[in-house]
Each structure stands twice: as C-alpha cells, then as structure tokens.
Structure 1
Amino acid sequence: MTRAPAELFDLTGKVALVTGGSRGLGREIVLAFAAAGADVVIASRKLDACEAVAAEVEALGRRALPIAAHVGDWDGLATLADTAWNWQGHVDILVNNAGLSPLAPSPHETSEALFDKVVDINFKGPFRLTALIGQRMAQGSGGSIINVSSSGALTPAASIGPYAGAKAGLNAMSMAMAMAYAPKVRVNILSPGTFRTDISTAWADDPNMGVDIALGRIGEPPEIVTSALYLASAASSYTTGSLIRVDGAGPIPIGAKRQITSK
C-alpha cells in the first residue's frame, strides 16, 4: 500500500542526535526534525547555545536534551553516545553535522596542529560517533545516519586542502559504514554547497557570490531541510551509501577565481 507523504516524513517517536546543532544548518535540521515529531539531542561545544535551541524545540512541543561536546574528542564521544542513548533508551537518527573549515595559508604553511584539528572534527569524530551509534542501531531497531559533507570535497580549492581531504574521507567512510551496518542502518551523505549562515557573513553579500552556481545564488539555511528530512525518514527507506548534493549545482571552490559581473 502506498503511504501518504505526510506519513513517510513523520518522525513521531524518533530520537535524533545532531552534532553542531546549535547554529547554522544544524539548527535548521534540529528544528525541522522537531516539527516532524522527533525529540532531539543537541550537541555542540557551547552548552548555552545548545540550551537556546533546546528551548525552541520545546516550544514546538517536543523534548530536547542539550549537551556540551567536542566531536574531536575520541573518548568524549563515548560519553556523548551513552548520554544520548540512555536519555530515552534509543537513538534513531544521527546527524554528524559539526565541522570546521579554516582556510590554510598554503599547503607548505599548514601546521600539524591545524591539520590535525581539521581532520579530528571533520573526519575522525564522525567516524567514531557513527561507529558508536551505528553499532547500537544495528543491534536494536535500526536507524538512519546522515553525515554532512561539503561541496569542497567534490570541487576542492587550494586554500581548503585539509578540509576537502577530510570531507572526501568522510564520503568514503560513509559508504563503508553503509555496508558495515546494513541492512538495519542506513548511512548517507548530505553534501551542502555555500549557504548563508553565520560562518559565511564575511562574504555572503559579495555581489559576485553565486554567479558560477547554476541557480545564481547561495543557499538559504531552510533549504537544507527537505533533504535532511528525506534521509532521516522512511521516505528514504531504500537509500543508503548515497550522496545527495544540495548546492544549487556547481558552486565554485572557496578561494577560486570568480567571474566578475556587473549584476
């Protein structure tokens, strides 16, 4: 029997854990999941920021658990996974959204500390948390894991070498995890392009920003919601190991030469 779209996207009774959930695209995903009926664990480094978003979730009639956590802390992620799982006895959706994208001065000027920090947050942390939560999902009722990557992994620029490499590794790891925890757990990649978030405030209003994107503009944060809901819900029940681009088709790499126009 064909299910109605509203039923397919319904997250009632589900628990979602979203890292980097206190701002930007993470906050949009948290609020969208809550509006669809999920209770949400909101994790980021700043507890007060998590608590502010938790209040928004509770205003929607759902439960929220704010947790201060650093996704680059291998041992600390075990505590995050235990706390999130024990909150209601299960986690049905994991979104590895936390990320860090500093520009490197040049490849030969990139320090080991900067390289390690970028890899820890964008690759090592998501690997660890996917393993911790994915194993429990596989042993229980299953679930959906969404690893938030970047168009930078597909169109890397010279200034984001470590970041692009870490996100490319995340893409490959996600496909491997999709095989490791199948058939009960689905693992997919959400690959955003340039969005108008607090991270982009320094250049989002550049009149030439978006000229090399097919849709002619950068994305607005709410535009990530439908793809995230699709991957989190039963609507994507036959989708795993897949990469979904939400980038307006073809954003230029950060730091690449832009076409100058009079628009």
Structure 2
Amino acid sequence: MTRTIQQLFDLKGRTALVTGGSRGLGLQMAHALGEAGARVLISSRKAEDLEQATAELQAAGIDARWIAADCQHEDQIRQLASESMERLGDIDILVNNAGAAWGAPAEDHPLDAWDKVMNLNVRSYFLLSQLVAKASMIPRRKGSIINTASIAGLGGNPPGMKTIAYNTSKGAVINFTRALAAEWGAHGIRVNAICPGFFPSKMTQGTLKAMGEEKLAAHAPLGRLGDDEDLKGLALLYASDAGKHITGQWLAVDGGVSIVTGG
C-alpha cells in the first residue's frame, strides 16, 4: 500500500547521530530529525554546550543524548562511533556536520590551519561514515548519510573573503558525497549533501563582521540570510523515506545566492 506523506516523513524508531550538533546548523538539524520522531545523539567538543543543547531538545519532547568528542582526532572519532552504537544500537541516520573555517590570503595561509580545516571538514566525515557504515548500515543494507557542505564549495568567493581551505574542503565534501553514494548504493545506503549559504553562526561571525549582514543578505534574491528553520525540511527529506530514491545529490539552501554568483 502506498504510504501517506505523513508516513513517509515519519522517523519513529530510528536513531540519528549528529556531529557538531550542540549549536547552529547541527542543532537545527537535530531538532528536525527529533521532531519527526527519531532518537537523537548529538556530539561536539564541549560537554557544557552539549548539556545545554540536549536540554533544549528534551524540552521540545525529543529523545536526545550527547557524547563529547573532537572530530579532529581519530581516536575520538572511533570512540564516538563505538560508544554511540553501544548506547543506542544501530545508527540509521548519520549527519556529518562538525566543521571549521579559517580566513587568510592563499599566499599566506598557514599550513597547520589548512590541515585543521581539511582534517575536520573532510577526513572526519570519511572516517565516521566508514565506521558507522561497516558496523551498522552495511550489515542491515540501509541508512542515510547527510554531509554538510556549503555554497563555498561551488566556486570562489566575493571580493574580500579569503577562505581557500574552507572552500576547498567543502568542494571535496560535495564530490565525496557523490563518490560514496555511487559505491554504497549497492548496500542500500543513501548519501546526500546540504550546501548552506550564509547563516548567522559562530563560524560565520568573521565574515558577517567583515562583509556586513545587510550586504550579505542583499546578495540573495530572497533578500535575507538563513534562519533557524531553513535546513529542517531538507534534512528531513534526506533522512526519511520521503527521499528514499535520492542519493548522491547536493542542494543549496542559500536564498538563491548561488544562482546569481555562478555557483
């Protein structure tokens, strides 16, 4: 029998792991998945931030837990994967969202900062996906992986923005998403990416200060920055059976910025 739209978007009985989930875009996506019925486990570096975010999720009626882990470090990623599955069982939805940015002219960009950005924004996505898939998704022949990319991964920047490592890493995330989807489709695993535009967050504070919020909003055909609701719909589509025939795709959530800047 064909399911209703409410049934297709229903995540009851599923478990989601969201990295970088204590604030900003990660917390927004955790809300979306939890509001649709999933159990949610969020992770980031700081226990205090996670405690506050988990309390916020629980106050909204969501079954939420947390594990502190710094995804720059391989041992902590491995611990996050194993502890998550020890505590909650199989992971149905993995949201790779932990990330870092660094602003510097390309000719003067510190190499250690380049490595930090690439390790967190790309390497950690690969390793955590590998660990969760091998232990939980591949044996059951199902799962959804959602990678946070960025419209910065679609091309260069407006004048004044110098984030070569960030742009490079997010371009890598987009093609990582395509390549992984092509390989793991045989295991029933879907892999998709979200490319946010400008959302007010700790990561974008420097850009917002340098460029000006009004100026950045003016670049968007919709005339505004992203808000606390704008990623929810797409995250739920990718995670749920409503998107069960979607894999290897990216979609910009940017108010139209990428269509007028050539991304």
How high is the TM-score relative to the length of structure 1? 0.90
Aligned-CA RMSD value: 1.9
For the 8 Å contact 1:210–1:251, the answer to whether it is kept is no
Corresponding residue of 2:154: 154
- Letter matched to residue 77 of structure 2: L
What is the rounded CA distance, in whole Å, between the counterparts of 1:180 and 1:18 in structure 2?
22
Identity %: 36
Q: How does 1:23-172 map to 2 (within 5 A)?
A: 23-104=23-104, 106-136=105-135, 137-157=137-157, 159-172=162-175
Shift in Å, 1:2: 3.1
Residue equivalent to 2:220: 213
Distance between the aligned counterparts of 2:224 and 2:48, measured in 1? 33
Could you tell me whether the CA contact under 8 Å between 2:18 and 2:30 is conserved in 1?
Answer: yes
CA contact (8 A) 2:16 2:92 kept: yes
Question: Deviation of residue 247 (structure 1)?
Answer: 1.0
Paired residues in the alignment total 253
Moved more, 219-228 or 151-160: 151-160
Paired residue secondary structure (1:186): strand
- TM-score by length of structure 2 reads 0.90
Give, in whole Å, the separation in 2 of the partners of 1:86 and 1:122: 25
The match for 2:2 is 2
- Given that residues 252 and 258 in structure 2 are in contact (C-alpha distance below 8 angstroms), is that contact kept between their aligned partners in structure 1? no
Structure with the higher fraction of residues in helix conformation? 2
Instruction: State the match for 1:196 in structure 2.
Output: 200
CA contact (8 A) 2:39 2:64 kept: yes
State the SS of the aligned residue for 2:163. Answer: helix
Question: In 2, Cα distance between the equivalents of 1:211 and 1:52?
Answer: 33
CA distance in 1, matches of 2:99, 2:199: 14
Which residue in the other structure is 1:259 paired with?
none
SS of match in other structure, 2:77: helix
Q: Using the TM superposition, give the Cα deviation of residue 141 of structure 1 relative to its aligned residue in structure 2, in angstroms.
A: 4.6
Checking the alignment, whether the CA contact within 8 Å between 1:21 and 1:43 is kept in structure 2 is: yes
Residue-by-residue CA offset, 1:15-55 (whole Å, 9 max, x unaligned): 10000000001111111211111111110000111111112
- Give 1:139 shift: 1.3
Residue 134 of structure 1 contacts residue 181 of structure 1 at CA under 8 Å; is this kept in 2? no
Find the aligned partners of 1:129 and 1:168 in 2 and give their Cα distance. 19
